[in-house]
Amino acid sequence: MQHSVTPESRAKVNPLTSTYSFTVFPDSLNYAGTLFGGKLLSEMDLAASNAARKWLYHTSCDGLVTAQLSEVNFKSPGMLGDIVEIDCTITKVGISSITVLVNVIKESKTGQSGVICTARFVFVALKDGVPFPHNIELN
């Protein structure tokens, strides 16, 4: 069912920023003993796509895919037991695209924090498997 949702009301329901977190367990480590980069990228993709997909509620789009991942910078290693916080900010929308900047913060077992990784994701909204205008505006 379609609803009439203004950009203002959508922004109230879906803030531009969202956070997802997980704890580094042993099965996420590489053989250097630090958080495996592929695991982190997967979690970032999930967090960023979830942030974007919420903006597609009440649109005619029925899904989205990751189109581009760029500007990936692994700045410091994640360690066993760290709480990893993935902060996502929607920064730009096109006709069917949504750009999300991702900043990954770690918090150690002793409470020390630092940046693990930053990256930029572009998602494309779909309908029936092809790009479709989402009609989203950012104010």
Ligand X SMILES: CC(C)(COP(=O)(O)OP(=O)(O)OC[C@H]1O[C@@H](n2cnc3c(N)ncnc32)[C@H](O)[C@@H]1OP(=O)(O)O)[C@@H](O)C(=O)NCCC(=O)NCCS
- Residue 103 is a binding residue for ligand X (CB under 6 A): no
Tokens of 112: 């020390």
| Dihedrals phi, psi of 40, to nearest 5 degrees | -65, -45
* Shortest Cβ 98–ligand X spacing (Å): 8
> Which residue is nearest to ligand X, using beta carbons?
94
Residue 116's Cβ-count burial label (10 Å; 0-12, 13-18, 19+) is: buried
10 C-beta neighbours (distance < 10 Å), count: 18
Q: Which of 21, 66, 89, 108 binds ligand X (CB under 6 A)?
A: 66
Q: Could you say whether residue 94 binds ligand X (CB under 6 A)?
A: yes
Binding mask 3-42 for ligand X (x = CB under 6 A): ----------------------------------------
Task: Using CB under 6 A, pick the residue from 14, 18, 28, 96 that binds ligand X.
Answer: 96
Residue 41: count of CB within 10 angstroms of its CB: 17
Distance of closest approach, residue 52 Cβ to ligand X, in angstroms? 11
Phi, psi of 68 (to 5 degrees): -150, 140
